[in-house]
Structure 1
């Protein structure tokens, strides 16, 4: 593969840093993050307005966490329906419909999350949250502008020339941009230009009808997620929705009674649903949306072009069945992974290889998703409660989002003889600490807002014992002798000319608390000392300037944050945890603070890690 030349200065001829095609959740997540970072993003969409009915509707625990980190979760949590359990019902020619099982959706002994439920919110509500966030920052979606094509020179330094059609005037609307990202769905035009025609592998043996509406039924588990399987009539997946609605996925091709999806009218699908649900009654007071879909499972052969100027994300890169509430979640996390990398590339801070990690990491997740979805969809279609339960249990961490893990690469460096629960390429584990400056108990994995910066955590049982070690390390990483210091200096210049728009939200978030010491790195220290035994003045200057991220591991909860993340630390031990801007652990290191040369070893270790993908 030919890597793009990201040593070049930002392209002067380009009026855009990034053009995003598609204003669904994936495209809006990308645009919102880029604009928050100060990047000039233009987003175009072929539709006249946001999604009004139908489409995706479920947020998994990790996605809820991401929205909380972005400060956007409030309206969704207030409006959404929470699903904590899943029920299984079966019938056969000889046995009437009966409940065969009930499971906690996210058992705490398996899935360690703060929000152990699926949040059902309509896709249009999610889009609206992003649209308001973008509008607050002076950005509007360019509507009624379907993507036509793009062209680029092979030098990797010239802008990508993008053409869309303005449906209002019929004229071609041109754009020049450093990067183009296609978030334009399963029939992506960006993907077709980049990769050529893509075979969708849609199977005629798995067609489903979807109905959103207010139902009347005496089915006892209507407010839980329920899988209902009839040996003769097929299967239904029942999901409660907001505004007293229920979504039903109704199988159209059971082995005993197949029907062409072309002939499946709304009335027929309702009849089929009643047959599956017998002896329970089922009728509709209102229907908000009706649709037919066929399951097509695929992963694009590439997620970027050879020059790493054009990318695809979400359904443009992978497609699967919607029955496990994964598509919208995975799409938004594709974008979340890509956004911070594009920010660094636009600012000239990304070393060659950083943008390559997008495809490395997200293609693996897409392939893992297809593997899970294949078994999950087949088990539902077969009405096999044992196979369905086994598939669900095996994949529950992945389904929740916290089990979406990345392999070793330049961003994820494995720790030798690792202790505790943190692993490179995995998400931070939830843990409680006390924020020193105001004595607030906080969730450490959520407390620092997502501003596009790396988080560097120092852990030590005793700040005073480790004082000399911390002084030396902090002095070096703040100086131009290390890549961290040089990148921080370069970023200060970049952000002075290319800065995020100040919004009302910033008055509450106070970003400078977390970016005052560096625009790229937020430094934090966690200690098990009592508050009365340590002062902010005892910290090195770099950590004093980061006083809002000074934490006491004093919340009376077992295991403590230190134990949960790192295992036991000895009296003189210092651990350093590098956390990527998307919340994944990059690397973990440990040193005996009183050993001769330990501080220099730690500086060398930090320098080597960040030299792998940053430059200045």
Structure 2
């Protein structure tokens, strides 16, 4: 590969000539809107969402098959929530192993191996529906995505290796991606609006982006990984367990599906020289030494691996043109022992997917794509800093220090503590102080409400399907008391002058021309319930009023058309905190006060505002505030001249 030509920019005339030539060849290049390199969890999460939303995504992978054994295995609470939001969680929940606790064991020259203690993995302070790690094989996750894409007619192109890409000065011209077929060595070209490298720690896409070289360090310690079915009398094999031997090193024990167990084994001392001498038999023997006097043997070994810890973050997560991006291990690497890799990688893609969807449709200002690097590089740096401390605590065997480190970082480990700073899509409200748990740049806290239309109790953060839309929640105690506010607000955002109205109209045209791709289960999920008002925004109304005191017909027309997202805040006893949704999100809400919570398509809070509904023109003021927020990063596409 000639790296000197990778990611280069060409003049417009040269670019047009080259693209015209390519398209005129007997075998024309494949064309797509987003080319994803790598069919691991990060790449498939991205392609799956883009495909659902109607974006033409092409996934290439240099492997012949998907993952069959080994690699990542743990899903954190936020990742489980994400799969629930995608309506993909059930197969994983049925097959996975749930781990609720963590045990600590230690042996020294003076003391035989003994249990030091046990901790709840996710204590009640972590506000999640699923307070456990779900252990499932990476291949199961990949299969879910692949099957979901297949329902929509999208397949992975395998045995296809990325070589290089080039960008035109003309921002509207596609980029050229050069590939090579592994079997025939034939060279192929792909024309795409965007390129995303999800091709792992040795990413060729990353090597093609100037100034993206990973920065960080490697540790000298080598760790072995064994997946297999154990024969043992050790009592804590079905808990997440850290075993430390002063003489032989550490083992991290992780229960797995199908009656298997994973061992991460520190190879503290062993054969000198080439680490390839640290083979499976040596690692198995070392495990037995660390676990003595307990018996350890294997009925079978499904997978063996070996790795050296490195904590690195790419210097950039995108090129200067914002046409090529990095996600997953291509952008950050770390140890696997905190079960973060697959989770963080998929949430890179979760963050990027909705932004690319809007960019392809012409609805995004440059600031939206720019926010990807700002937000996810921060999370990557937070991760490697935590991982460095966590990996050292595991290797050091200090259970007290490890437990303290875990408590300090448990929100981040769970996924709900991955928080973004202020930027165009996270707008703090300068006029008020934050009183509740809903905060710009943070995930929407879970809350239980009753869906008005059918009286079903629902988790509000899960109820609305992820269709690439923003959710605009209006919260109030009494709808009748705030009726004038609601009517003026709904009327104001429906005018031709309203940016929200203009964006909705533009999104409607875009989805009419390039609709979301349907799947058979849509017959039961009925996504059209949430796009009746807008393909870009779903409006939700939350009130504490009893159902007997209000009818759908009492609402303004816009909210009548949003009837599936009308909620009663009346079941605090079913909440994770025993709290009303209104109180949890906002801290408090005064009589006659109305709050609006903007939620991004990835479930993060974007902005929060409050108004006194008794004040004249407060509804119009709220509509202007809404326009101001969305004007920071969205635009009405300029019509293309015919």
TM-score, shorter chain, exceeding 0.5: yes
CA distance in 1, matches of 2:610, 2:634: 23
Deviates more, 1:488-497 or 1:592-601: 592-601
3-state SS in 2 of match to 1:387? helix
CA distance in 1, matches of 2:349, 2:233: 42
CA distance in 2, matches of 1:121, 1:608: 43
Displacement of 1:414: 1.2
Displacement of 1:488: 0.4
Please tell me whether residue 261 in structure 1 is matched to residue 275 in structure 2. yes
Asked whether the equivalents of residues 31 and 43 of structure 1 are also in contact (C-alpha less than 8 Å), the reply is: yes
CA distance in 2, matches of 1:92, 1:148: 52
Task: Describe how 1:6-25 pairs up with structure 2 within 5 A.
Answer: 15-25=31-41
Match of 1:323 in 2: 337
CA distance in 2, matches of 1:590, 1:202: 47
Deviations along 1:567-608, one digit per CA (max 9) or x if unpaired, are 222221100000000000001110000112212221111110
> Paired residues, what number?
604
Task: Describe how 1:123-162 pairs up with structure 2 within 5 A.
Answer: 123-162=138-177
3-state SS in 1 of match to 2:622? helix
Asked whether the equivalents of residues 219 and 310 of structure 2 are also in contact (C-alpha less than 8 Å), the reply is: no
Task: Describe how 1:52-63 pairs up with structure 2 within 5 A.
Answer: 52-63=68-79
CA distance in 1, matches of 2:217, 2:421: 29
Asked whether the equivalents of residues 174 and 193 of structure 2 are also in contact (C-alpha less than 8 Å), the reply is: yes
Structure 1's unaligned 5+ residue stretches are: 1-10
CA distance in 2, matches of 1:491, 1:146: 35
Please tell me whether residue 598 in structure 1 is matched to residue 618 in structure 2. yes
Match of 2:581 in 1: 561
CA distance in 1, matches of 2:632, 2:214: 36
Displacement of 1:54: 0.4
CA distance in 2, matches of 1:142, 1:479: 46
3-state SS in 1 of match to 2:157? coil
Match of 2:294 in 1: 280
Deviates more, 1:393-402 or 1:505-514: 505-514
Residue in structure 2 matching 1:249, options 254, 264, 269: 264
Asked whether the equivalents of residues 600 and 606 of structure 2 are also in contact (C-alpha less than 8 Å), the reply is: yes
TM-score by length of 1: 0.96
Asked whether the equivalents of residues 52 and 518 of structure 2 are also in contact (C-alpha less than 8 Å), the reply is: no
RMSD: 1.5
Please tell me whether residue 74 in structure 1 is matched to residue 90 in structure 2. yes
Asked whether the equivalents of residues 253 and 259 of structure 1 are also in contact (C-alpha less than 8 Å), the reply is: no
Match of 1:583 in 2: 603
Residue in structure 2 matching 1:192, options 196, 199, 207: 207
Deviations along 1:389-432, one digit per CA (max 9) or x if unpaired, are 11101000000000100001111111331221111100111111
Deviations along 1:315-370, one digit per CA (max 9) or x if unpaired, are 00000000000000000000000000000000000012110000000000000000
Residues 1:199 and 1:487: Cα distance change in structure 2 (over 3 Å): closer
Displacement of 1:480: 2.4
3-state SS in 2 of match to 1:146? strand
Please tell me whether residue 101 in structure 1 is matched to residue 102 in structure 2. no
**After the TM superposition, which parts of structure 1 deviate over 4 Å for at least 4 consecutive aligned residues?**
11-14, 199-202, 256-260
Task: Describe how 1:328-407 pairs up with structure 2 within 5 A.
Answer: 328-407=342-421
Residues 1:404 and 1:579: Cα distance change in structure 2 (over 3 Å): same
CA distance in 1, matches of 2:331, 2:447: 34
Match of 2:52 in 1: 36
Residues 1:608 and 1:197: Cα distance change in structure 2 (over 3 Å): closer
Match of 1:413 in 2: 427
Match of 1:5 in 2: none
CA distance in 2, matches of 1:551, 1:260: 63
Match of 2:7 in 1: none
Please tell me whether residue 223 in structure 1 is matched to residue 243 in structure 2. no
TM-score by length of 2: 0.92
Residue in structure 2 matching 1:523, options 539, 550, 558: 539
Deviations along 1:271-313, one digit per CA (max 9) or x if unpaired, are 1111110111100110000011000110111100111000000
Residue in structure 1 matching 2:327, options 296, 299, 313: 313
Residue in structure 1 matching 2:314, options 300, 320, 325: 300
CA distance in 1, matches of 2:65, 2:617: 61
CA distance in 1, matches of 2:434, 2:329: 36
Asked whether the equivalents of residues 232 and 257 of structure 1 are also in contact (C-alpha less than 8 Å), the reply is: no
